[in-house]
Structure 1
């Protein structure tokens, strides 16, 4: 098992600086924030340039994060998703990145579960077909405040889509904060369907309030409320033996020394792997 830095953890840095920070802090992999990638490409740099930068810093790109609103029923939203899927899949193929993250949100909150599943699976099938053309797979994140807020519901979508390039990311904060997925369920997962780990601490938001991740997840390991050892033991018990990414979504830490933050995260993550 190897350590990766989700580059959102150092969100104050551009893409190239994020890679330098990851390398300096001892990480061997990175998850690339899509907005940073877009900014990089929009300035005329290429996927080949990024591939060379990753090689020079001895880093593996694990995923591109993310394509959002995958549940949207709006035709213009689907068109945007498919454009992103094509762009990111082309980049992923060139840089040797296996996964692109998919994020369901809340556009269908007024629909029944069956309608939500039908609409979202239709979108995701189209996305997966684009990725398959480039040898790319997709990791689904079960967002805590979305209809897909649990492992059970995420797996229902995977089954409904029926594509072999769709799996789950185990995000300790999302699973724990939603309150519908236990470490015991994680331990029973098929490890071939665990595409990545987002390991982080945090707190829950109050009921009937808008949750601000940048505050609720603004903690180093052991500073907040998630039973991290239970989740760590569960991940290992599943048989998963690949990358673990540390994801610190924290407006406070984004204003701190990025290298110091990343080194602390690397050291702390190593205690749980």
Structure 2
């Protein structure tokens, strides 16, 4: 079994120390921390600006043995200044984080690529990868665009982040994924969703941020996706369920996500002896 990380969006009501305790109690090896909001005014826990909160988070990591997989969310826009992320990088290094989730909100792909390359260079001394998550409503809407950008910048810590939901909604394909160099893939995100795609971009965004399904309970072919991914990279379970959260606590939802993901991976292992055989 690969290692599993509890994504921030699954339990966004929990501050990092409480989230770490839930992850440990359920059997996750890692967590992802949302230190920057996904959108202006969104929920985030900026530990780089909260020394007491950072120390408490470090103490919970030390006590539980849970580690930090990734930090969220860096939205690179035309006006973004890379120098503004110094404290973010330094805090990530203190937390022992491995990856940063990056999103493209610059319609000029040449300008974005230059800024993304600079971001990768700035993150590298702190031991952090910069993983470009393609999402249909961003300026990197699909796997082909994201992988082309990562190839173009040529930074060793640049990567493509595959989220099962966005992979499906962007109509990216397993054949596309098979052509991606394995060293572009540092971790990936698992969830499920109805087979029928939302009719509007607004509905797609709302579903992505608020209402997903637990792995194996929807219409995405997660077994095929798992078979196509490198076997030894972390799987982040990103399953926001806003309605269910009204009646089911964070620990119960986190446990349900983990149990469901383990079942998907077990099924993929049963039918894919070739998993993990990709070349780097």
User: Which of 103, 127, 139 is the matching residue for 2:119?
Assistant: 127
Residues 157, 142 of structure 1: alpha-carbon distance in 2 compared, 3 angstrom cutoff: same
- Counterparts of 1:34-113 in structure 2, within 5 Å, are 34-35=35-36, 36-38=44-46, 40-45=47-52, 47-68=54-75, 70=76, 72-74=77-79, 78-79=80-81, 82-83=83-84, 85-105=85-105, 107-108=106-107
1:151 Cα offset (Å)? 1.5
Residue in 2 that maps onto 1:177: 169
Shift of the alpha carbon at 1:34?
1.6
| 1:240-255 pair list within 5 angstroms | 240-255=231-246
Cα distance between partner residues in 2 of 1:208 and 1:244: 26
Q: 1:227 aligns with which of 218, 221, 226?
A: 221
Runs of 4+ in 1 over 6 A off after TM superposition: none
Offset at residue 130 of structure 1 (A): 1.4
Choose the corresponding residue for 1:189, options 180, 197, 202: 180
Return 5+ residue gaps in structure 2 as ranges.
Answer: 37-43, 266-280
The structure showing larger relative contact order (alpha-carbon pairs under 8 Å, at least 6 residues apart) is 1
The offset of 1:47, in angstroms, is 4.3
Answer with 134-143 or 181-190: which moved more.
Answer: 181-190
2:152 and 2:254 map into 1 onto residues whose CA distance is 38
Instruction: Indicate the RMSD between aligned Cα atoms, in angstroms.
Output: 2.1
Aligned-residue offset at 1:232: 1.5
SS state at 1:272 partner = helix
Superposed CA offset, 1:204-247 (max 9, x none): 22046553135774212233221111212222xxx441211110
Q: How does 1:141-160 map to 2 (within 5 A)?
A: 141-160=133-152
1:206 is matched with which residue? 199
Find the counterpart in structure 1 of residue 40 from structure 2: none
Query: Who is 1:112 aligned against?
Result: none
Gaps of 5+ in 1: 109-115
TM-score (norm 1): 0.85
The number of aligned residues is: 253
Q: Secondary structure at the match of 1:169?
A: strand
Matches within 5 A, 1:159-174: 159-174=151-166
